[in-house]
């Protein structure tokens, strides 16, 4: 199965959002990764529903929403109505994760769970067959442009083992500090989807950079 690239819109130029969305539409990227931050779960605020609604009007690929908010269960229906395909909540933000996952499923979205760098992958063992996508945070969530945490390789490998042991079909996504320098090692450790923000959007030719990453991931 081919490995996927998900440019993170957080690093786009919000004054030229339509241009950047079209760039992703016309590139070899697979998903739009969209970071929603509430200023409580993480020490930053990104953007909310009106912006997601505008993105969805132009985006021609899978909408992958990463919620960095407390009590994400409050907004599951809202995100479904905004055209979200994958809805990822943080493990650390969910008291009743199993229930939250069922609610996401019942709203006809794919289920995602994100893990902060300190959260052990083994904590997902009892719900792994209910998760379509695990997002391993390879930086502390809240900001783009941070440097990659090396322990991520080990976590990715451990999670892959859990997925295989449980005959699950869960995809592994890596989010934060992804570049052409770590992409191959992440894929070799078991990653299926690479999120890349700054590396793509701050490059001279974002479309070429996506292509380059896609080639490395599928080499
Ligand atoms: C961080 C976000 C990431 C971020 C990645 O909280 O979840 O998706 O946009 O950005 P880069 O690739 O610049 O680390
Ligand atoms: Zn993200």
CA–chain centroid gap for 9, Å, is 11
Please tell me the number of the ligand nearest to residue 139's CA: 1
Give pLDDT tens digits for 117-136: 999 999 999 999 999 999 99
CB of 148 within 8 A of CB of 138?
yes
Q: Is 203 annotated as a binding residue?
A: no
Mapping DSSP to helix (H, G, I), strand (E, B) and coil, where does residue 150 land? coil
ipTM over 0.85: yes
Give pLDDT tens digits for 34-63: 999 999 999 999 999 999 999 999 999 999
Find the CATH number of the domain harbouring 127. 3.20.20.70
Query: What residues make up the domain containing 22?
Result: 4-218
Locate tokens 């939250």: which residue? Answer: 100
Averaged pLDDT for residues 85-111: 98
Burial of 108 (0-12, 13-18, 19+ CB in 10 A): exposed
Active site residues: 35, 175
Would the pLDDT of 1 be above 90? Answer: no
Give pLDDT tens digits for 75-90: 999 999 999 999 999 9
CB of 175 within 8 A of CB of 143?
no
Number of domains in the chain: 1
Q: Is 142 annotated as a binding residue?
A: yes
Mapping DSSP to helix (H, G, I), strand (E, B) and coil, where does residue 113 land? strand
Whole-structure pTM value: 0.98
């Amino acid at each position: 199965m081919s490995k996927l690239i998900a440019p993170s819109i957080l690093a786009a130029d919000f004054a030229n959002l339509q241009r950047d969305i079209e760039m992703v539409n016309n590139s070899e990227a697979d998903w739009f990764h969209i970071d929603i931050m509430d200023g409580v779960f993480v020490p930053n605020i990104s953007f909310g529903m009106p912006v997601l609604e505008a993105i969805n009007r132009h985006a021609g690929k899978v909408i992958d929403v990463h919620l960095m908010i407390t009590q994400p269960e409050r907004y599951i229906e809202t995100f479904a109505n905004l055209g979200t395909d994958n809805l990822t909540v943080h493990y650390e933000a969910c008291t009743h994760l199993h229930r939250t996952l069922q609610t996401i499923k019942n709203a006809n979205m794919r289920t995602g769970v994100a893990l902060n760098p300190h959260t052990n992958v083994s904590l997902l063992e009892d719900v792994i067959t209910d998760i379509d996508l695990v997002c391993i945070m390879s930086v502390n969530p809240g900001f783009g442009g941070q440097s990659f945490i090396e322990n991520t390789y080990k976590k990715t490998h451990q999670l892959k083992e859990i997925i295989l042991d449980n005959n699950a079909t869960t995809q592994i996504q890596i989010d934060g500090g992804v570049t052409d320098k770590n992409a191959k090692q992440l894929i070799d450790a078991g990653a299926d989807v690479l999120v890349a923000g700054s590396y793509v959007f701050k490059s001279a030719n974002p479309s070429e950079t996506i292509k380059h990453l896609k080639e490395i991931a599928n080499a």
